[in-house]
Copies of this chain bind each other. A is one copy, B any other.
């Protein structure tokens, strides 16, 4: 056997290429390694062998057959790969400054907010049902106009969504209660419109009322909220349950913002596609 692989990626490629020529036990071992790279990076030969249901010498024999001088040499590739996956060094610098008291409390707080918001963004896409996204987009695409409702803290998301929809050429109206006129604004909803409501516990009464009204009039409703048990949920055609970051009892709106961005832009993309298809159809007629 010649020069061993120099990176995890090269190793993967080599194993894939040589797999068919490996014996049954070596195949089993190779498969385990690729399936559990983190384990291979950190555990001992004995431990890995135990988990892979092979003997330690099998692991070593495999490594040798792949061109390495022993298992440890191969393990280094797994370790390098593991290190390559780690978050960036700014976080370490931060830990040091924090421990030595160089960092003011306000910057500590900024780190906390940044971390907390990052964490919810990491979880968000796997918590949103893809079918719900598609269904909400169906609703918005069909609607002549979208009325966006959000009170108090949620007003921020509602205003952003109204702005974003306008930028993808979807008529959008912000239900803002100007002059105390929530009721009047909602009465302007036509039967071809849809309502998007953003509301979190303790659920503004105006938002609940808006959903009730729209529901009675048979309008499609999309709700962004924090629980499937939210009082708004039972009126909704689509419910997005969103978890928001919380620091010092103060809740953020980063996840909702990200979700509304997605809804607006995805809608824009859809509309572009629909227009493109219609243009293509016209060409056929002319041809």
Which residues of A are in contact with B by a Cβ distance under 8 Å? 12, 15-16, 19, 31, 34-38, 42, 79, 82-83, 85-88, 90, 92-96, 99, 103-107, 109-111, 113-114, 117-118, 121-126, 128, 130, 133-134, 137, 152-153, 155-157, 159-160, 163-164, 167, 178, 247-248, 250, 252-254, 257-259, 261-266, 268-269
With A153-B163, A164-B250 as known contacts, state yes or no: A110 contacts B124, CB within 8 Å.
yes
Are B35 and A96 in contact (CB-based, < 8 A)? Answer: yes
With A83-B42, A99-B16 as known contacts, state yes or no: A110 contacts B134, CB within 8 Å.
no
**A36, B96: Cα distance in complex, Å:** 10
CB contacts (< 8 Å) of A265 on chain B: these are: 109, 113, 247-248, 250
With A88-B122, A93-B126 as known contacts, state yes or no: A250 contacts B110, CB within 8 Å.
no
**A263, B107: Cα distance in complex, Å:** 10
**A134, B106: Cα distance in complex, Å:** 7
**A172 to nearest B CB, angstroms?**
14
**A163, B253: Cα distance in complex, Å:** 12
**A120, B259: Cα distance in complex, Å:** 17
**A223, B113: Cα distance in complex, Å:** 20
Are A266 and B106 in contact (CB-based, < 8 A)? Answer: yes
Query: A258 touches which one: B86, B87, B110, B157 (CB < 8 A)?
Result: B110
Q: Name the CB-closest residue of B to A102.
A: B130
